[in-house]
Each structure stands twice: as C-alpha cells, then as structure tokens.
C-alpha cells in the first residue's frame, strides 16, 4: 500500500514536471513572440519568413482566436495576444515582452528559430515606469482606496513628535525552479485537456473556455505539481495554458509550451514595487497616536491581482501595532512594466516596511530607541484592527518577550556595542521585527474549497482536493488530515493530482490557506465515509455505533480493539453495497466585510511572530554578512513540524532576498536590467545566517483551522525585514546621526553610498 511522500520523490529526482511529460510523435512545440519595447502599437505582423522555414511551422495571432481575446477578470485589460489589427484598440501593447504571436513547430529549436523570423511593424509610444508619474497622469487601474480609524488630524495636532518620509520597496522575481508552462491536447468533440503549471486550475479552465469559446465542461485542466509557484502562478499561468490550448485547437495536435528562463524573466509578473509616503505621530511616552500613508503601487501594465494585493496592503498598514488614529490610501498605478502579481506575502510585506520605516524615522527624531517604540505599541488582546476586527488570541507580546529571552537580546546588544566601540572598519548591527498576518483570502467569496475522497475496496485511499502541490507539502498535510480523520496510517493515503474533473469551481492555492481550506474539505469527506463505515461495523459487531471508533487501522469498541480491522471493515462495507466515496466542502465561517464602510472581519485569524537578525558590516566595502536569525513563531498545533520549519526557513530566505539582495531594476524605457539568473541575485546557502534558531510557540491550539493548526506559507517572509533593519543598524554604527534609508533592497552598493553620504 505504502504511498511514497512527495518530499521523498523530490529528493530522489522522481517527481515529474511539465517538461518531463512524455512527448508524442505529432507533438508541436510552442514559442511565444514578445513585444520589443515597453509601449507601442502594432501595425502589422509578417510571418512569411518564419513560415518558409519549415512546413511544420505555424504562426498564430489574435485573428486566430475563436472565442474572446481576453483573460482579464477584474478589468478587461489583458488580451491573450496583442491584436495585429491597427484599427483595434487591442493593437496597443503595455509592456516589453507582451505576447503578440505564438509559433508552433515540430521541434523546440525550430520553433525558436521561426519565432525570431516573425517581423513586427509598429509605432513606438512613450512609456511610463514610475508609479507616481502614472498617478499624476491619471493612469489608475481602479479608483483609490482608503481605510481609516479615529481622527488622525486631531491626533497629529496633539502629538509630541510628528515625522514624515518616503519609502521605496523594489519588486521581486519569483525564480521558481520550473518556469511557466502548459501541455495541451485536443480531445474528441472539440474539447481540450491541459496540464498546466498553475496554482489555480479552475481559473485556467475559465480562461481557456473564454478564449476558445467553449463551455467549461469541455475544458479539463490538471496540475500534478509545480516546481514552485510563490504566487507567480496564481493568475499568470492562465496565459501560457490558454496559448497552448489555442495552439492545440488550431493545429489539432498536442502542444507543449515551456518558457525559457529568459522569456519567463522578461514576460511574466513579479512582486509589486511600491513607493509610499508616511506621516507618524507619537506622544511624549513614545506611544503611536497617529499614522497616515499613501501607497503608490506600481501595478504594471495589466490589472491582474493588483486590487486584491492592494487590499492586503491596506489591511496590514498598521503592522503589528495598535494605532488609534489612522488613515491609509492606496493607488493602483498603471505603468508600462510587466504585470506585477501575487508573490508570497501579497502586498503585506510592502505595508510592513512602511510602518517599520515610520517607526525608525520617529525613533531618529524623538531619540526613543526604535525597539522601545515597537515593544510599547504591540497589539494586545482586546484591541481592534483599524478595520474593526477584534484582536483575538494575540501572541504579539508573547513572541516578542520569548524572542528577547531566546536571543539573549540584552547581552547581544551589549556585545555589539562593545564590538562597535573597539572596531572602526567592521560594525555589528541587529534588529527585531514583529509580524501579525491575517489569514483568509481578502476576497470573501474565494474562501471555499472542495474534496473528493475514494476508499478503494482494498483499504487504500485516494484524496483529491482543489489544493495544488508546489513544494509547500500541502499534499503531506492533507494526507495527515485524512489519516487522522479515518483513523488509519498515513501510508494508506495517496493525495491525487489536482484536476477540474475531480473537484470543480475551486480557488487558487494561495493566501496560505491551501491546507486550511482543502484540509477541512478533505476532513468533511472523510468524516462522511467514516460514519458509513461505523454504521456497517455496528451491524457486523451488533453494538451501537456510538461505542465504535477507528484507531490505528482497527475498529475499537469503547476504546478496546474489536475483531474488525480496517481492511475487513472496508471490504464488508463494499459487500454491503454502501458508498465508499464522498465529496467534502468547506467555506470559512464568520467572515464579513463591508467594502463601502471598510469595516468587518475579513480574516479567520492572525498569525503572530517575531524575528531577530544580527549582521556584520564591512565599512570599507559596504558588504555585510548575516550572522544569526532567531525566530519565535506562533504556528498553532503543527500538522507537520518539519514542513512548517521548512516553510519558515524558505520564507525567511525569500524575505531576506527581497529586503537586501534582489535588485529588480528596470531602465526608464521599461527594460528589465538583470534578465538572467547570472545577473539577478537570489539568496543562496552562503548568504543565509549560519545560525538559525526557529522556535514554535507551544500549547496554543488554533480553533479556527484544521486539526488546530495555523497557515504557514506567507507570514514568515516578513521576518526578512529584520535583516534590513539590522544592516541599517550597523550602518548607523558606522555613520552615527545618519538620516535613515528607506529604500529596499539594501544592497551593498546602497550601503556604500550611504556610508559615503551620497544618499540623502
Ligand atoms: N513553498 C514552496 N516550497 N513553494 C511555493 O511555491 N508558495 C508560497 C508558500 N510556500 C510556495 C511555498 C505561497 S506564496 C503560498 S500562498 C503558500 O505556500 C501556498 O500554499 P499553502 O496555502 O498550502 O501553504
Ligand atoms: N492572498 C493571496 N491570493 C489572493 C488573495 C489573497 O488575499 N486574494 C486573491 N488572491
Ligand atoms: Mo501566495 S502569494 O498567496 O500564492
């Protein structure tokens, strides 16, 4: 029976990704053609030279789309292909690398070569890349959105200290190991099947149905697993899947489209860069009395998930702090850069950086240490968030105190100060950052999921849900939930690939809710089957069902083993003609939100934590190394501690990368400067602190999620910000009285500039 865990298959190199799927003889390879500049209008596409290359070559343009040339959901601004009809408004494109043609050929190299021969005639238009310029020009995707509480104007007037400033945070490339891709083949009756590298099979199904003009039941979408998603395949996998499906529909042959790394880097979206203004007010004791912020979200050329991401920014504007008077406004600024999209944290890290920068600035002006301001203003039980949700099961203070203890922070600070006094060319720095992260999709409707469970008559179990496995081990967690619910060993459970045929109308595996929602749905289905099994056992044993349970693969009567094993029971149930399959459904309860009033409880619960990072700075060169990270994390009762630890470590790495290292730079013409993995730097083992101590709070079962667990995927990314403030702390030791620097990532180049006082 023994089903093999996903992690072990990964380790052995046995997991199959899209490019590993077997290729049939008639397979066509697809290569997209992307626009050469950030903004322009197509006048014509000339495919003659490409077509002349080989008889297998086909060039598909917008004219070939049988359905609607549109993938945009919130806003219809996302054509599948830029139109080659100069009279159409869809002939204007919005970013460099936007797809205008798809080339098919019998081999990948041929398809690449042919794609290079497609000639584009166009008119160049002036691009906008700066979100503030876009806002001035009125280029907003949707209207601004504001959340407010209390009376900020009065609070600022009464404040002892008022500080304002500007904050920049850069974007971030997902660098999933598996690039975006899809494999599509035509089925009988005009239907199509697509294996897609997507976090959202139902969304891909809908997109394909729209562009092919099919009803959804003719489009089957499957995701076996992804070689990483990190948000990059929540919305943006649909384009590649729809292109592959279009190719299959038009050619009548299987089509495989797997992006080259370079195409993936230039053509797909990344984390949103933000430019923000803040104003913070403190009373004489260092309590934050007022906070205001304007967030200029660089949304890129297409709406994509920008509204949902902005929404999460606003919900996390106050970070982990109690701020009685607050007013925050977000602008979705349309620019001529690739469509920025979901990335682990989903707008919350950007908000955290702004409030932490405001506190840093307030500390510089008031002379009160930033750490004291942070500690004094942490959320407490009974407070409420600025959108009216009560603060419950608050662990902000617990995490902070435990961190101070575990990291021996007082001693660490004293050692760093002594070191800095004794050394001129090397400086130590450290910082603590608290985290409070809301769990649930900010869009209420998305908080639902389904499952389909089959118990086969040999006693093995297959579980399908809407959750997509992308390395986060959601399949492991769901297997644990099913095993615990049915009372059997985990190696009897196999979690199946995700398909629109098994579970329909699902939402993306995102918002860290994969195991929360799909685990609950799987649990519901297992409970239903278990009730039927117990009914059969009651008849077989001649005892009331209430006395029976299943534990460790055996039917138990009032806690003692009966004669019935799991296999016996399943077989009897089968013989008794009782259904061994069930569908389960879960909709997160008690979520309410009034968008007009900006009031309600949009989250099922919050995840708390705190991280301390210490660093050493080479003052001459501006280089730094990370010495240690200590993290206290409130993870509820973990379903799998090894998985959760891995998620915290991985998220920390990604957070540190965003805060310190990853420089997603575009030139004023909208061209991505580091467009290869040899020039775009991501954290590696050597970058990470050699000492990492991660502790999970114990004895805090979470009643709001499956098996009393807590979502884990995104919140720990914010810990990476501790690295930013730690490096700035070391810079301050080298340049006392400096103005502060709120411009992430804090690369060694920027450190050197700061030390040489080139920056404000
Ligand atoms: N971990 C791995 N290994 N690979 C991923 O792609 N995505 C992250 C996080 N952890 C990701 C990951 C993101 S952005 C989210 S929202 C969650 O996993 C999604 O999965 P979950 O909801 O099942 O935790
Ligand atoms: N988080 C992640 N993905 C999402 C969300 C969210 O809150 N809303 C829509 N997609
Ligand atoms: Mo994660 S950014 O919600 O896919």
DSSP string spanning 267-308? HS--BPPEEEEEEEEE-TTS-EEEEEEEEEEEEESS-TTHHH
CATH class for the region spanning 395-442+605-760: alpha beta
Confirm if 176 and 229 have CB atoms less than 8 A apart.
yes
Is beta strand 691-696 parallel, antiparallel or unpaired with respect to 623-633? parallel
Q: Which two tokens stand for residue 215?
A: 């009803």
- Alpha helices (runs of H) in 36-130, residue ranges in sequence order: 48-53, 108-117
- Topology classification of domain 448-587: Aldehyde Oxidoreductase; domain 4 (3.30.365)
DSSP string across 524-563: HHHHHHHHHHHHHHHHHHTS-GGGEEEETTEEEETTEEEE
Closest CA to 67 of 182, 198, 177, 211: 211
The pLDDT assigned to 234 comes to 98
pLDDT on residue 287: 98
Ligand 3 pocket mutation pick from 174, 511, 607, 658 by most atoms within 8 angstroms of CB: 511
Q: How confident is the model at residue 89 (pLDDT cuts 50, 70, 90)?
A: confident
- The interaxial angle of helices 514-541 and 566-575, nearest 10 deg, is 80
Cβ neighbours for 736, distance < 8 A, ≥ 6 positions apart: none
Q: Token pair of 617, please?
A: 């700075």
Atom 4 of ligand 3: nearest residue by CA position: 231
Strands 461-465 and 493-495: parallel
What would the mean pLDDT of 176-181 be, rounded to a whole number?
Answer: 98
Average pLDDT over residues 410-433: 98
Cα(735) to centroid(ligand 2), Å = 41
CB distance 708 to 477 below 8 Å: no
pTM score of the predicted model: 0.98
Average pLDDT over residues 6-26: 93
Given 356, 598, 714, 756, the catalytic residue: 714
Longest dimension (CA), the chain: 85
Contact 51, 31 (CB under 8 A): no
Ligand nearest to the CA of 518: 1
Residue 283 pLDDT class (50, 70, 90 cuts): very high
Distance 499 CA to ligand 1 centre (A): 19
- Judged by DSSP in three states, 312 sits in helix
Report pLDDT for 86: 86
Phi, psi (rounded to 5 degrees) for 99: -80, 130
> What fold characterizes domain 128-172+272-384?
Aldehyde Oxidoreductase; domain 4 (3.30.365)
At residue 408, the pLDDT reads 98
Q: Which of 342, 443, 467 to mutate to test the pocket of ligand 3 (most atoms within 8 A of CB)?
A: 342
Region 494-507: what's the mean pLDDT?
98
Q: 511: CA distance to ligand 3 center in Å? A: 5
When mean pLDDT is compared across 82-86, 245-249, 453-457, 722-726, the lowest value belongs to 82-86
**What torsion, rounded to 10 degrees, do the Cα atoms 204, 208, 214, 216 define?**
0
Question: In the predicted model, what is the mean pLDDT of residues 157-164?
Answer: 98
Sorted by sequence, the CB contacts under 8 Å of residue 401 that are 6+ apart come out as none
Strand 181-186 relative to strand 288-300: parallel, antiparallel, unpaired?
unpaired
Cα angle: 734, vertex 740, 742; to 5 degrees: 125
pLDDT band at 757 (very low <50, low <70, confident <90, very high): confident
Q: Is the dihedral of CA 636, 641, 643, 645 positive or negative?
A: positive
The dihedral over CA atoms of 448, 452, 455, 456, expressed in degrees to the nearest 10, equals -160
What is the average pLDDT across 643-648?
98
- Per-residue pLDDT band for 498 (boundaries 50, 70, 90) equals very high
The β-bridge relationship of strands 691-696 and 461-465 is unpaired
Average pLDDT over the chain, rounded to an integer? 97
Q: What is the pLDDT of residue 758?
A: 72
Average pLDDT over residues 584-609: 98
Rounded to the nearest whole angstrom, what is the distance from the C-alpha of residue 243 to the centroid of ligand 1? 25
**Sign, Cα dihedral of 409, 730, 273, 662:** negative
Rounded CA separation 506/205 (Å): 10
Asked whether 31 and 199 are in contact (CB, 8 A), the reply is: no
Question: How far is residue 625 CA from its own chain's centroid?
Answer: 27
* CA 728 – CA 254 distance, rounded (Å): 54
Q: Which atom of ligand 3 is nearest to the CA of 199?
A: 4
The answer, yes or no, to whether residue 760 has pLDDT greater than 80, is no
Annotated catalytic residue 371: no
Please check the confidence at residue 527 and state whether its pLDDT lies above 80: yes
Q: Name the CATH architecture for the domain at 5-126+174-267.
A: 2-Layer Sandwich (3.30)
Q: Is the pLDDT of residue 18 over 80?
A: yes
Token representation of residue 119: 């000639």
pLDDT in the model for residue 1: 60
Encode pLDDT of 195-253 as tens digits. 999 999 999 999 999 999 999 999 999 999 999 999 999 999 999 999 999 999 999 99
Location of each CATH 3.30.365.10 domain in the chain: 5-126+174-267, 128-172+272-384, 395-442+605-760, 448-587
């Amino acid at each position: 029976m023994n089903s093999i865990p996903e992690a072990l298959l990964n380790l052995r190199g046995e997991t199959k990704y899209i490019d590993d799927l077997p290729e049939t003889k008639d397979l066509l390879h697809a290569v997209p053609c992307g626009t050469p500049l950030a903004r322009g209008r197509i006048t014509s596409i000339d495919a003659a030279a490409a077509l002349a290359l080989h008889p297998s070559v086909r060039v598909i343009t917008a004219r070939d789309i049988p359905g609607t040339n549109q993938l945009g959901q919130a806003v219809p601004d996302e054509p599948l292909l830029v139109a080659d009809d100069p009279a159409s408004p869809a002939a204007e494109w919005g970013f460099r690398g936007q797809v205008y043609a798809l080339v098919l050929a019998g081999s990948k190299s041929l398809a690449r070569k042919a794609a290079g021969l497609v000639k584009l005639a166009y008119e160049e238009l002036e691009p906008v890349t700066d979100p503030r310029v876009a806002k001035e020009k009125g280029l907003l995707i949707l209207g601004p959105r504001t959340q407010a509480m209390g009376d900020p104007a009065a609070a600022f007037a009464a404040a002892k200290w008022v500080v304002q400033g500007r904050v920049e945070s850069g974007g971030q490339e997902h660098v999933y190991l598996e690039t975006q891709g899809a494999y599509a083949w035509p089925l009988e009756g005009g239907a199509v099947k697509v294996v897609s590298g997507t976090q959202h099979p139902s969304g891909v199904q809908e997109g394909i149905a729209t562009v092919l003009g099919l009803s959804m039941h003719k489009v089957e979408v499957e995701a076996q697993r992804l070689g990483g998603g990190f948000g990059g395949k929540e919305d943006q996998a649909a384009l590649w899947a729809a292109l592959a499906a279009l190719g299959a529909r038009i050619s009548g042959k299987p089509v495989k489209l797997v992006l080259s790394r370079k195409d993936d880097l230039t053509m797909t979206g990344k984390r949103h860069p933000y430019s923000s203004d803040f104003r913070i007010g403190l009373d004489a004791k260092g309590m934050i009395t007022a906070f205001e912020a304007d967030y200029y979200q660089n949304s890129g050329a297409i709406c994509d998930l920008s509204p949902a991401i902005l929404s999460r920014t606003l919900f996390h504007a106050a970070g982990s702090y109690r701020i009685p008077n607050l007013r925050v406004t977000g602008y979705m600024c349309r620019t001529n850069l690739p469509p920025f999209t979901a990335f682990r944290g989903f707008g919350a890290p950007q908000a955290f950086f702004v409030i932490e920068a405001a506190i840093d600035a307030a500390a510089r002006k008031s002379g009160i240490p930033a750490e004291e301001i942070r500690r004094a203003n942490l959320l407490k039980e009974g407070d409420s968030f600025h959108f009216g949700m009560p603060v419950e099961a608050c662990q902000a203070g617990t995490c902070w105190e435990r961190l101070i203890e575990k990291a021996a922070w007082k001693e660490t600070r004293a050692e760093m100060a002594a070191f800095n006094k004794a050394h001129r060319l090397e400086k130590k720095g450290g910082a603590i950052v608290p985290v409070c992260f809301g769990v649930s999709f900010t869009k209420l409707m998305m908080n639902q999921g389904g499952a389909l469970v089959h118990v086969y008559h040999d006693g093995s179990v297959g579980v399908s849900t809407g959750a997509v496995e992308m390395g986060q081990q959601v399949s492991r967690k769901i297997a644990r939930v099913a095993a615990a619910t049915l009372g059997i060993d985990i190696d009897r459970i196999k979690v199946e690939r995700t398909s629109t045929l098994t579970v329909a109308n699902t939402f993306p595996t995102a918002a860290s809710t994969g195991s929360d929602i799909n685990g609950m749905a799987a649990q519901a289905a297992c409970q239903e089957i278990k009730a039927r099994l117990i009914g059969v056992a009651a008849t077989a044993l001649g005892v009331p069902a209430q006395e029976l349970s299943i534990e460790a693969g055996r039917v138990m009567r009032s806690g003692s083993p009966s004669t019935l094993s799991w296999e016996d029971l399943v077989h009897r149930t089968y013989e008794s003609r009782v259904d061994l399959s069930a569908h389960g459904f879960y909709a997160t309860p008690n979520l309410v939100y009034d968008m007009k009033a900006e009031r309600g409880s949009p989250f099922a619960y919050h995840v708390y934590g705190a991280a301390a990072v210490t660093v050493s700075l080479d003052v001459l060169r501006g280089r730094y190394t990370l010495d240690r990270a200590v993290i206290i994390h409130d993870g509820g009762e973990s379903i799998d501690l090894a998985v959760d630890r891995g998620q915290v470590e991985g998220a920390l790495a990604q957070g540190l990368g965003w805060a310190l290292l990853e420089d997603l730079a575009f030139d004023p013409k909208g061209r991505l400067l580091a467009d290869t993995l040899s020039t775009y730097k991501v954290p590696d083992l050597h970058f990470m602190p050699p000492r990492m101590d991660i502790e999970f709070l114990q004895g805090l079962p979470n009643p709001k999620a499956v098996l009393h667990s807590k979502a884990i995927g995104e919140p720990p990314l914010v810990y990476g910000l501790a690295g930013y403030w730690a490096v700035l702390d070391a810079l301050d030791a080298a340049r006392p009285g400096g103005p502060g620097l709120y411009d992430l990532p804090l690369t060694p180049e920027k450190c050197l500039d700061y030390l040489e006082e080139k920056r404000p």
